[in-house]
Amino acid sequence: MNSAFYSTTIAVHTGRRETVKDLTGDCEAFLAANGARDGLLNVFVPHATAGIAVIETGAGSDEDLLDALADLLPRTDRWRHQHGSTGHGRDHVLPALVAPHATLPVIAGRLALGTWQSVLLVDTNRDNPDRTVRLSFLG
């Protein structure tokens, strides 16, 4: 059995607002550009204040996710980790709830996602408008 490993990073501008960015197209383009067949795609954000989620988008779920995170992790001065904007400490807790990675099956060169699933970068950190995401395929 021959195995392949491909890895790259992509730059993602998230701006100065809490946001959910759809990375599905970037993931699919990476797989296609490398001729990926069957294997696993790992999506990793090497930042202490962002995460990767696999959920539905476009029907309000992305905004619901941000609202739920705001309820769970309020942007107040209650956090011990205090530098940057008010409530920035919550951003450092985010990866405990939204992991900084996801590993996804790839079948015949395509992400094996459910009908409504998308691969998303979740970024609540208003102090860092630019992110790096690492895509790694093993097949």
- The pLDDT, as a whole number, for residue 85 is 85
Range in 75-84, 95-104, 129-138 with the lowest mean pLDDT: 75-84
Q: How many domains does the chain have?
A: 1
SS3 44: strand
- The pLDDT, as a whole number, for residue 1 is 55
CATH code, domain carrying 109: 2.60.120.460
Query: Closest Cα to residue 93, out of 113, 76, 118?
Result: 76
Judge contact between 16 and 130, C-beta under 8 A: no
Interval 49-93: pLDDT, tens: 999 999 998 889 999 999 999 999 999 988 898 888 888 899 999
Return d(Cα 17, Cα 10) in angstroms, integer.
Answer: 20
Which domain range does residue 12 map to?
A: 5-138
